A and B are shown apart, each in its own frame.
Chain A
């Protein structure tokens, strides 16, 4: 997967995970992504952190220190209001792009 594509999609994936799972720490997000992708996505978990920082700078997610299930100190991320809005537009965009790609690929191959 190309790096640029990854960056854009990673943002969307993180937002989606936070929307469906509620506030989560970085490790949890990484685990969840691995689960969903059924290990199709080979990602260094470290790549997550610049993405989290970026989303925070844009004001789409916020963070708070808290305790994890097994009582370790961890930073929890949650979706903000503008993040929710962003997610909706992104989802729409993604849908459109995906549909377009699909049509295009079907046409050229058929």
Chain B
């Protein structure tokens, strides 16, 4: 250690040490000369003898220098300098290699920065691994009075479990905020007062007090840092009031920057206990709440789950076993990245393939150059360079290349991240911004070094295996095609490139076909020329349902009268428009039905709509009638059901004039008056839900979407719709106006994200593989010029030469194709969860991808082959 340190110092204090050494050696010689002179020699004589008995002064100096510094380190720098000079001397080679590596490394750095933000970066909470979600309705149904106002009970009941340090429940939704500037809508969360303790986050100012869950004292709020900045610095904002849903809320705290849990929450308010929102309305039956808890240190997920199940099903073994199937305690992080994780690893695998191909390309290039430089290397070996020294030198060059590639790749990644950020689906959890930061840099450095070693190894082998004598005698250039290790390595590289790119092509092909299938799915309505927006009526000013109906009808009347508007309607659920999971209800049927026994809990999606909804959306009426203005307060309660629901309950029977209701102590019977077509709510890839529609005039809810069918481009009319809304209530903010096509596009974002990226990577892989094959073929042709000349002189025709050269490339491609197909069969299985309407072994995709690769490879072989046919036998023969 000490030796190493002093040697390291030796490098930096080189000049000083050299000087000192010189002085010392001089003094030694002087002493020697003095003595000889004393013995009676003349000074000149003495000097000669002294030098002789000392040995070589210069050698001593050199030996001391070696001993002093780190010779291998210095020679490494020397190698680097030499390598740099080599790279500068061959700008074409360097450019191709660096660009190739930059593409491979850049793609990896970009994808890794997404993975880092989504999967690796810790959540910004202390001991975030102990934060858990509790999922599974069966357990909570056991909690006494858990519905409709039982959130508090659930929380208190959970608190009895020893596994948890803290528990909380919350509910999310959009809120209207009026205040500093314009009215605005944003994500809000109603949380129990101990929510912040569960997260382990202390807001600036203070968190909620326990008594602030009492109605009347609950008008306090915690703002996100981002929202707070719109009003001023946190110190000024705490203590002020903001208007939320038409009511005054006092700001008591501000969250640390970057914390928006759950989802993209901007404002947190206490969940009032008992919960009264929507009571008496059709919404009242829903469990809205998400339980979240912080595990005690050392308690495992399974222990926590078992304890909760024991609490819920004391003595009921069958119930407990049943619940064990559906009840889950999951880490918050795991639950939130569940869907994204496989996609991200898939993409990392894909860019890994791209990098392998890029490295193989560069390895091929280096091999080619190693052959060209054979003479140089031989000369160095002959002059006494050890083999290890030669290997070190080629490795230094390849590391230099990979570092240049990494630099360029990082630039490429930083540039492409702007595009990737746009592609990232908005619901992907990101624990940190997607950017090039320290872990990304480390990862990039690691893969570049690994890559550099990998492709540096091939020419190093070459340096090892050469035979000095033969090589010098051969005079370098003229040989037949590659045989032996060299040709073998080149062949293996080319074949693997083909195989890897085929796997990526097939994977991308499958995703592209899925995406196409997804776009072709009929959503059940006509998405063209539909404008949508969302409105939540301020609770305070719209307490009575008559007030709400007045507002809705006022808006509809004005909007429908606008020029360019075909029709307009309100709905409580917008297909493909976001979360719908909050209004699932169990149904029961009044009349005996063959399929559904009385009281069976069957879930349906309930949507409250104004009469023009079906006409506006273009949802077809299949039987019976649509709602009319007559379906109001005094009239019999009616419902329209979707085809899937009709099929599930009544099969071939007609559901018309049958009655259904929510289960409950007092059934509220609805008469079915119509059957309409299915729509897809949760996503284009999801099965159509069983749906129940009820008229707005009989169930005036608070949350609603406005849909407007326009005659021209929907966005052109947005401003006028906004004005019409302001005429009805100038304080009522609407969220952004989106066309239905934008909504659909948003719902396809996850699919687009993986399809576009994998498509790009597959294209990149194909390009690199083809470039690689082209390089190998051109090289082979140039090496075989002489041979081809001979063949042509002997009477071979151009066609023969063409066939021979293309055939050689084709053989490599076929081998790659075969291995790639086998690899794809093994790997596309992993994709099956991401596919829609396409089998993992889809023969069309496999066929097309193979065809694309073959054609590309033939082209890459054809160009050098054409060149080969133009060989003039005379020139080729004289070449020797």
Contact = CB atoms under 8 A, between A and B. Distances in A.
B53 interface: yes
Contacts of B601: none
B34 A70 contact: yes
Given A72-B27, A72-B34, 10 more contacts: A26-B28, A45-B53, A49-B25, A50-B67, A53-B67, A54-B67, A57-B6, A68-B27, A72-B30, A75-B20
Interface in A51-86: 53-54, 56-59, 68, 70, 72-75
A46 to B, nearest CB: 3
Contacts of B27: 25, 27, 68, 72-75
Contacts of B54: 44-46
Given A50-B67, A58-B2, A44 B56 contact: yes
Contacts of B55: 44-47
Interface in B28-86: 28, 30-32, 34, 53-57, 59-60, 63-64, 66-68
A27 B59 contact: no
Interface residues of A, number: 22
A74 B31 contact: yes
B2 A49 contact: no
Nearest to A31: B35
A26 B21 CA distance: 11
Contact of B31 (A49, A53, A56, A68): A68
B652 to A, nearest CB: 96
Contacts of B437: none
B67 A46 contact: no
Contact of B60 (A46, A54, A57, A70): A46
8 contacts: A46-B54, A46-B56, A46-B60, A49-B25, A53-B64, A53-B67, A56-B6, A75-B23
B238 to A, nearest CB: 63
B interface bracket (residues with beta carbon within 8 Å of A): 20 to 34
A70 B35 CA distance: 10
Interface of A: 25-27, 30, 44-47, 49-50, 53-54, 56-59, 68, 70, 72-75
B3 interface: yes
A69 B177 CA distance: 95
B7 interface: yes
B685 to A, nearest CB: 70
Interface of B: 2-3, 6-7, 20-21, 23-25, 27-28, 30-32, 34, 53-57, 59-60, 63-64, 66-68
A49 B27 CA distance: 13
B68 A46 contact: no
A59 B2 CA distance: 8
A53 to B, nearest CB: 5
Contacts of B3: 57-58
A14 B747 CA distance: 82
A99 to B, nearest CB: 30
B24 A53 contact: no
A75 B24 contact: yes
A71 to B, nearest CB: 10
B68 A49 contact: no
Contact of B63 (A25, A26, A49, A72): A49
B7 A25 contact: no
Nearest to A53: B67
B32 A27 contact: yes
A74 B32 CA distance: 12
Contacts of A46: 25, 54-57, 59-60, 63
B30 A57 contact: no
Contacts of A57: 2-3, 6-7, 67-68
A4 to B, nearest CB: 15
A50 B64 contact: yes
A59 B1 CA distance: 11
A50 B63 CA distance: 6
A54 B63 CA distance: 11
A73 to B, nearest CB: 6
B36 to A, nearest CB: 12
7 nearest A-B residue pairs (beta carbon):
A44-B55, A46-B60, A46-B55, A27-B31, A50-B63, A50-B67, A74-B27
Nearest to B58: A46
Contact of B68 (A26, A30, A53, A59): A53
Contacts of A44: 53-56, 60
Contacts of A45: 28, 32, 53-55
A27 B28 contact: yes
Nearest to B3: A57
A49 B34 contact: no
